[in-house]
Amino acid sequence: MVNRGMIESRHSETEHAEMIRTIGIASAEQLFADVPKPLRFPSLDLPEPLAEADLARELRGQARRNTPIEDRPCFLGAGSYRHFIPATVDYVLQRGEFYTAYTPYQPELSQGMLQAMFEYQSMICQLTGMEVSNASHYDGATSLAEAILLALDATGDARDRIVMSPAVHPHYREVATTYLQGTNAEILVPDDPAIAASGLLPFVDSSTAAVVVQNPNFFGLSEQIDGLAQVVHGLGALLIVVSDPIALGLFQPPGAYGADVVVADGQPLGLPPNFGGPSLGIFATRREHIRRLVGRVVGETADTEGRRGYVLTLATREQHIRRERATSNICTNSALGALAAAVYLATLGKPGLREVAELCFNKSHYAAKQISAIPKVKVNANAQGRDFFKEFVIELTRPARDVNAILLEDHEIIGGYDLGGSFPGHENQMLLAVTELNTRAEIDNLVHALAGVVS
């Protein structure tokens, strides 16, 4: 370590001297001569540096102060889920060649990531029934916000209204609302959270750029969506569908029922919850919108000898080429999340993803049935007879917040999402998520605990 007044260096004494000489300056401090002197080299009030062993001790201590959902019964979902992550996923993510690279601007040195992204795009298109996918967005919420911007662009200036189902994730709605602050567009959301998708149609008119539905919706319900796209298209608007990628292993893809843009949060595909991020934004659309797609896209090509290879393509949509006329400002995306999803989907494969979806379906239905047998607890009270997947709503005799506290303290169970947090007046309701990782014993314990709480 070289110490020269205000500046230290990690180069050796000799190296440092030689570098200073090559630059042609007298001292390293001269390098900062342009910085206004009174403000130069402030004394920062930061904690003292830590050796690696001490750092590990401190952060392990902080980690222990959190309650991970990994090893205990968890019924919390609402946009982030506890699914099994095969060992292949982290094996691949830990390859330094992948995770310490950046955007593959130089394709000859980046064929690995480019091919992995091309395969990701291919699998996402298969799952969603779309024709083009980008190589990832930040998360499901920002994918939705940008899908709305795509629809506003595609449908022209006269259309500045978005009709959004109230059963779209409330945080997604918030993010989309923030993103639209720079436009004249507004989002219209009918009040009744139990409204069916077809109930949105009366709100659609010649000013509507897009209709947004989530399927399965935020409450876990399947939307009756047949014929919706035809009506929406007939009125000149696009249909944007927010999807759950696990459900797509088993259920009809949005492309089959006429969606124009499909977005989703890809966290269920091999990413841990990470306290909400980093996640993965899935963004896929039809070929007619390829020029309006946001973010990176990988295309197949050949090298000078005719060998197959991959490159980032259609870059003239993007900010580094098109600047203020770009389709979006996105640069850094979630490539590593897309890589996780690709390895996850390859590992689960065709039968595996279907089975995960079936397990989620069967276990959530088992849980719903057992809970509905508890006196005074109602299941999907506002949606009798509607199909659901993985998540459902229960109505209790007391606030969900209190019930969750008891579940955690007395039973070490992480309960569901308190709907009062996003839907005023619904304080006694809780959204429960049941995945392939919830065993029958966990579900039975939850049922037993809930019965005790309400009795």
Which candidate, 290, 316, 331, places its Cα nearest to that of 137?
Answer: 331
Question: What minimum distance in Å lies between the beta carbon of 308 and another protein?
Answer: 5
Rounded distance, CA 292 to CA 327, Å?
6
- Facing residues of 433 across strands? 391
Rounded distance, CA 9 to CA 19, Å?
11
Contact 294, 328 (CB under 8 A): yes
Question: What minimum distance in Å lies between the beta carbon of 255 and another protein?
Answer: 10
211 or 339, CB closer to another protein?
339
How far out from the chain centre does Cα 389 lie? 19
Give the residue, chosen from 102, 199, 206, 412, that forms a contact with another protein under the rule CB under 8 A: 102
Binding span for another protein by CB under 8 A among 157-165, 186-194, 231-239, 339-347: 339-347
Residues between 107 and 146 with contacts to another protein, criterion CB under 8 A: 107-113, 115-116, 118-119, 121-123, 125-127, 131-133, 135-136, 138-142
- What is the per-residue binding string for another protein in 412-451, x denoting contact by CB under 8 A? --x--x---x--------------x--xx--x--------
Which helix (H) or strand (E) covers residue 2, if one does?
Answer: strand 2-4
Give the residue, chosen from 207, 319, 372, 382, that forms a contact with another protein under the rule CB under 8 A: 319
Question: What minimum distance in Å lies between the beta carbon of 237 and another protein?
Answer: 22
Q: What is the DSSP letter of 137?
A: B
311 or 371, CB closer to another protein?
311
Contact 17, 26 (CB under 8 A): no
Give the residue, chosen from 13, 174, 192, 205, that forms a contact with another protein under the rule CB under 8 A: 174
What burial class does residue 118 get, using C-beta atoms within 10 Å of its C-beta: 0-12 exposed, 13-18 middle, 19+ buried? middle
Any contact of residue 266 with another protein (CB under 8 A)? no
Contact 179, 148 (CB under 8 A): yes
Question: What minimum distance in Å lies between the beta carbon of 79 and another protein?
Answer: 6
Give the residue, chosen from 210, 339, 371, 449, that forms a contact with another protein under the rule CB under 8 A: 339
CA distances from 149 to 125, 259, 328 (A): 21, 16, 9
Give the residue, chosen from 175, 196, 229, 377, that forms a contact with another protein under the rule CB under 8 A: 175
Give the residue, chosen from 165, 208, 279, 428, that forms a contact with another protein under the rule CB under 8 A: 279
Give the residue, chosen from 151, 239, 282, 297, that forms a contact with another protein under the rule CB under 8 A: 297
Rounded distance, CA 309 to CA 2, Å?
47
Question: What minimum distance in Å lies between the beta carbon of 196 and another protein?
Answer: 15
Contact 250, 258 (CB under 8 A): no
Residues 6+ apart with CB under 8 A from 255: 128, 129, 130, 131, 262, 286
204 or 266, CB closer to another protein?
266
Give the residue, chosen from 156, 199, 299, 452, that forms a contact with another protein under the rule CB under 8 A: 299
Residues between 188 and 247 with contacts to another protein, criterion CB under 8 A: 222
CA distances from 331 to 106, 109, 139 (A): 15, 19, 14
Count interface residues toward another protein (CB under 8 A): 207
3-class secondary structure, 432: strand
Question: What minimum distance in Å lies between the beta carbon of 426 and another protein?
Answer: 15
Any contact of residue 157 with another protein (CB under 8 A)? no
Rounded distance, CA 321 to CA 326, Å?
8
Binding span for another protein by CB under 8 A among 31-39, 159-167, 371-379, 390-398: 31-39
Which helix (H) or strand (E) covers residue 310, if one does?
Answer: strand 308-312
3-class secondary structure, 177: helix
Give the residue, chosen from 26, 157, 158, 182, that forms a contact with another protein under the rule CB under 8 A: 182
Any contact of residue 333 with another protein (CB under 8 A)? yes
Residues between 1 and 30 with contacts to another protein, criterion CB under 8 A: 6-11, 15-16, 18-20, 22-25, 28, 30
Binding span for another protein by CB under 8 A among 158-166, 198-206, 337-345, 446-454: 337-345
- Facing residues of 414 across strands? 74
